[in-house]
Amino acid sequence: MVRTLIIVGGQWGDEGKGKIIDALMEKADAVVRCTGGNNAGHTVVVDDTTYKFHLIPSGITHEGKLNIISNGTVIDPDVLCSEIETLEKSGFTITDEKLIISSTAHTILEKHKKEDNPTTNAHSKKIGTTGRGIGPAYCDKINRSGVRIGEFVQGSSDSAKKLKPLIKDTATIVNGLIDNGKTVLFEGAQATLLDIDHGTYPYVTSSNPSAGGILTGSGVGPTKIDSVVGVFKAYITRVGGGPFATELGTDEQTKSEESASQLKEKRSSEEYEKEFTSLIAAANTDDEYAQGRLLRMQGYEYGTTTNRPRRTGWFDIVAAKYAAMINGLSSMVITKLDVLSNFKEVKLCVAYEIDGKKVTDFPLDIAQLEKAKPIYESMPGWDDDITSAKSFAELPKNAQNYLKKLEELCGIPISIVSVGPARDQTIVLDGKTLL
């Protein structure tokens, strides 16, 4: 029986981990956020209400669940207080029975945000950071000159006073929950390909969002973990700089386009539908930019934290197998399968071509990865709206075949398929690796 479950992102983030954690919280007693800071974002839809969290774990909307921000995170006190206040205005009561914060998590200070500002820091701009002070805060942590949140709350600021009652020794609490047979979810932020050690360095985050980082970021030993599940989109996206083998269109094209919401504001519904229909037609030709834009618009691929349009591409098997290896995945979750509707043909990158040679192992040399050209395997797509499907059998045959091919090529089973943002748009295929 699975009682401790790590959820990690298998790509470059934004895979829909928040929604999956929210769905799994029904059977969990606690959820632990272990890495990163407010450079991450999770979106959860509950009864037609959308909640966007940057620091607070996704289980906060569930009654009777303990939400834990552990030692591996870096915390902007003002952002965290703002999230708490937003929840309180929505009717939630936030006490230390619902939310606790590790005393040893490090604090993002104003100086960190100034250092990280992309308008004044050329390196931050190059690698595409969010400019929220995450990297500089981790630098001070490693340099042993940082301020832990347990120290910060001894101050007299409004943020310090609000957070002080929530500060605890979370490692002891989490291990105690596990030792007493409670079910615990570990929530990953960002994703494997952004890992500071195992990602596409230097275009990475400042922490270890892979499974190993979740252990050190929570103070839990590896023998206490029952299952590790990776979340992958049915395609792949990336925000910021860095190589992206299956990218459809260019980063410059993506940055210059208007979002779906901007188009809807400027056009009548008839004009918007006409333009969208034209985009579908273009996406079903050899127009790669149109394909990428259709994925972006159908998947609403705009950052939870930054609102930046995300670069989009076809699913990358090479990268997925690498993520499965690094994390020791027990199973994978496929989200946003519904976004592939309206494509007559869908593609999977099964290998790279680098300097004329076929490569099936994910290259860690950034210069090699920048040269990588995708080798695709094509499959028939589907036009059906699958957002109301409640089982694998209700999916179109071509969508079923696509999922089977992902399992075959990645070498791990699919435990969950998501066909929309709501809780009830979640299809469990195999619960053996889940809570």
Catalytic residues: 14, 42
Per residue, the 3-state secondary structure of the chain, as one string, reads CCCEEEEEECCCCCCCHHHHHHHHHHHCCEEEECCECCCCCEEEEECCEEEEECCCCHHHHCCCCEEEECCCEEECHHHHHHHHHHHHHCCCCCCCCCEEEECCCEECCHHHHHHCCCCCCHHHHHHCCCCCCHHHHHHHHHCCCCCEHHHHCCCCCHHHHHHHHHEECHHHHHHHHHHCCCCEEEECCCCHHHCCCCCCCCCCCCCCCCHHHHHHCCCCCHHHCCEEEEEEECCEEECCCCCCCCECCCHHHHHHCCCHHHHHHHCCHHHHHHHHHHHHHHHCCCCHHHHHHHHHHHCCCECCCCCCECEEECEEHHHHHHHHHHHCCCEEEEECHHHHCCEEEEEEEEEEEECCEEECCCCCCHHHHHHCEEEEEEEEEECCCCCCCCCHHHCCHHHHHHHHHHHHHHCCCEEEEECCCECCCEEECCCCCCC
**CA 117 to CA 253: how far, in whole Å?**
24
Q: How many CB atoms lie within 10 A of CB 412?
A: 18
- Please give the backbone phi and psi of residue 57, each rounded to the nearest 5 degrees, phi first: -60, 155
Interatomic CA distance for residues 1 and 319, integer angstroms: 30
Q: Are 289 and 257 in contact (CB under 8 A)?
A: no
Residue 350: count other Cβ atoms within 10 Å of its Cβ.
18
